Amino acid sequence: MEHSCVFCKIGIGDIPSDFVYSDEFFFVIRDINPVSPTHLLVIPQQHVTVLGGLKTFGRNSFIDMVEIANYVAEKEGIMESGFRLVINQGRDSGQEIEHLHMHVLGGHSLGAIG
C-alpha cells in the first residue's frame, strides 16, 4: 500500500470506482477517462511499479493477469469483435500512474498502433 497511489486507494476502497472483477491478487475497474467504449484496467492489489515486480506474487502472475483481462473481455462482450491489451511502462510510454496496470480496450475499431 502506497499512500499517495490512486490505484492503492481504489483497491482498499478509499476512492470509489466501478469494479468489474476482484480477487486476492488483482482487481479490474472501468477507466475514468475511457478512450474506447470498453476501457478497463487490470490492476494488482499490491503496489507493483513495473512488470518485473509481478514475480514477487509467484511465477504465473503475469499469465493470471492476462487471463483476467481475457475473462473481463468476454464478460464485456468484446471477445468476438476483438480487443487490445496495453501496458505502459516508464516515461517514453506516457505512463501516468506508477502502479502497474493493463488496459483492456475494445468496443470499436482501434486502428493501428503508433
Q: Mind telling me the catalytic residues?
A: 101
Largest CA distance in the chain: 39
Q: Which is nearer to ligand AMP, 42 or 78 (CB)?
A: 42
For cell 468496443, the residue is 107
How many CA atoms are closer than 13 Å to the CA of 36, on its beta-carbon side? 21
13 lies in the binding site for ligand AMP (CB under 6 A): no
* 78 lines the binding site for ligand AMP (CB under 6 A): no
- Number of residues near ligand AMP (by CB under 6 A): 13
| CB nearer to ligand AMP: pick between 33 and 58 | 33
Ramachandran quadrant class, 7 (left: phi over 0; alpha: psi -120 to 50; beta: rest): alpha
For 44, 50, 51, 77, 94, the CA distances from 61, given in Å and listed in that order, are: 9, 13, 10, 24, 24
> Residue 90 Cβ, how far from ligand AMP at the closest point, in Å?
10
* Interacting span for ligand AMP (CB under 6 A) from 26-34, 44-52, 55-63, 65-73: 26-34
Residue 97 interacting with ligand AMP (CB under 6 A): yes
Our separate counts of H helices and E strands in the chain read: 2, 5
> Which residues make up the interface to ligand AMP (CB under 6 A)?
6, 15, 17, 29, 31-33, 41, 88, 94-97
